[in-house]
Structure 1
């Protein structure tokens, strides 16, 4: 087994490369791939950059060039529902491209010629990520995010959610647009810019994948400010400790 770990931004993967044993780097397709062992797991870490095409290219290269057998995307996202708060964690059970619309030739959201609108994540990987996320909130959060930061971002009682994640090539910062998407896509928990494209690549190549996101903003008019501050101060710690728990515990049965 070889686990590919993708993030869009450096901050979303901060610490993981440094934690690798026997790390070696390879440059391909304008991206730096770092290969090594993460808590006993053979892994490849890479930054995709932002957007669906960037995510799809990165996932394809991980499989075809670097031989990964499983792909994990970790990073931040905007809330997909008003009940989901900054600091919550979402794990995808399926992913959809919310800006895909080839109607009337095909139904809205359906990727033409695949027959699918919702691309599933791997059930086993997702359940292991859920366990890792719950473990992080219960055992690690208070130690790795200090009281001042928790107060600044309102991280009082973060929760874990599982549901639909929607991806599109736009930064969502209008609450009316989120409400409309939520009405069109029942079960929506988060919006971001890469996951559904990665899920489509993995589906077509027969590679198990999972997507976990930390909610960085409420996808409203203040989203850009919330996003930049949160990614820098908080999200990297969430990602590091959840991936560590996932590798140490969740992958043992693989």
Structure 2
């Protein structure tokens, strides 16, 4: 929807970082025809800007890994003047009791592969002196409430029983907690158990959120993060991974976040 110049100046800008095309699928479908959004390529990455009545949405399909997401976050903050950064996508479940399809509202992020010991404790980011970067508390609380409402009232519409059966999904649960990031896809049970022992607070693992958290921490900008569990870091269930991301995770992410944008704006 096109809006006035005055509305553009006052409407909040949400910058959304999504790693893979399959995770991005539902978002791209909702962009509409090419006349309804603007596409730009900056530093090799595509950014899609769409104006709504109450907010502006800038989407970036950033690619996999911390460098990709970190550079995307910088561009969203610097070039697009994003007010809030959103890190979204799938993640591998670590904590016992987490199942494929569960929804994770991330309240903090860490980089599990960052290690400058003995100069600083393991996981501590040297130039900022912290190991945990916290998502914005108020926005995270809002996101949690929206996710809870979605699972109660709208999940079965977005992911009908036939789709759940195809992917072997039970009814998803909502979790709130820490997501850890590193530049490695985890599919080894021994490595998984070592990470659980080393960072017991971690609920899930992915490859981008820690970098987004660091950029926002250094820039004093708020971020939130939403993840859908895609696997349990054990090498199982990967044959159907792309289809799951496209037809389940992407749709759930879009449904929750579109409500979040409208409510926060």
Q: TM-score, normalised by structure 1?
A: 0.93
- Residue 190 of structure 1: SS of its match in structure 2? strand
- Map residues 37-186 of structure 1 onto 2, 5 A cutoff: 37-38=51-52, 40-186=54-200
Confirm whether residue 10 of structure 1 aligns to residue 24 of structure 2. no
- Residue 84 of structure 1: SS of its match in structure 2? coil
Runs of 4+ that moved beyond 3 A:
none
Residue matched to 2:215 = 201
In our comparison, the structure showing a higher alpha carbon Rg is 2
Q: What CA distance in whole angstroms lies between the structure 1 residues aligned with 2:84 and 2:176?
A: 19
User: Which consecutive unaligned segments of at least 5 residues does structure 2 have?
Assistant: 1-11
Q: How many residues align?
A: 251
Seen in structure 2, the aligned counterparts of structure 1 residues 199 and 152 have a Cα distance that, compared at 3 Å, is same
Q: CA deviation at 1:38?
A: 4.7
Q: What CA distance in whole angstroms lies between the structure 1 residues aligned with 2:193 and 2:209?
A: 20
Q: CA deviation at 1:223?
A: 5.2
Q: CA deviation at 1:147?
A: 1.4
- Residue 154 of structure 2: SS of its match in structure 1? helix
Confirm whether residue 25 of structure 1 aligns to residue 39 of structure 2. yes
Q: What CA distance in whole angstroms lies between the structure 1 residues aligned with 2:239 and 2:183?
A: 19
Q: TM-score, normalised by structure 2?
A: 0.90
Seen in structure 2, the aligned counterparts of structure 1 residues 82 and 210 have a Cα distance that, compared at 3 Å, is same
Q: CA deviation at 1:143?
A: 1.2
Q: Is the 8 A contact 2:128 2:218 kept in 1?
A: no
RMSD (Å) for aligned C-alpha atoms: 1.6
- Residue 177 of structure 1: SS of its match in structure 2? helix
Q: CA deviation at 1:201?
A: 0.2
Q: What CA distance in whole angstroms lies between the structure 2 residues aligned with 1:242 and 1:13?
A: 14
